[in-house]
Amino acid sequence: MAAWMSLMQVHSAVVDALEEELQAKLSLPLSWHEVLVRLAEAPDGRLRMQELARSVLLSKSGVTRLVDRMETAGLVERGSCPSDRRVTYATITKRGRRTLDRALPIFVKGFDQSFGLHLSDADTRALRSALRKVLAGNGHAEAPTCPSAYTNAAPAAR
């Protein structure tokens, strides 16, 4: 239980630090940054709203409200599927890509300061191994991968 509590405290501290940096420098919420990264990584810069909700760990209604605000800001746009009217896509706009380009160095620096610099390479490998075991034990066979946007923006992404 102590490990779980530590994980929750670390998550909160790092998320707070990243949110503060992105808000201070770009007025960009961390959740918006995450959506922009996911969309930028997707083929054609778009994802079904349901896929986007799963990738950013939000409910369908939560991601709908988030995309509403991001669409108003001109960072994403919605589109329909010509072959299935029930499907709606979120697509990153040119403005969204420019915003992400400006946000990535801020995010990477904030991540490094609040998380990465505190762990050795051995610590990082051990942490990833332990967390993969928990994921596998809960039916998630695939290990999460780091989006290329982060690895391309960081000299030594952990």
Quick: pLDDT tens for 115-148.
999 999 999 999 999 999 998 999 887 777 778 8
> How far is CA 147 from each of CA 31, 39, 46, 51, 74, rounded to the nearest angstrom?
15, 11, 15, 16, 23
Quick: pLDDT tens for 30-56.
999 999 999 999 999 999 998 999 888
In this prediction, residue 83 carries a pLDDT of 80
In this prediction, residue 87 carries a pLDDT of 86
Residue 155 pLDDT grade (very low, low, confident, very high; cuts 50, 70, 90): low
Quick: pLDDT tens for 49-77.
989 998 887 777 889 999 999 999 999 99
Instruction: State both tokens at 16.
Output: 């707070």
Helices 94-114 and 2-26, packing angle to 10 deg: 130
Domains of the chain: 2-153 (1.10.10.10)
| DSSP label of 142 | S
* Res. 156: pLDDT tops 70: no
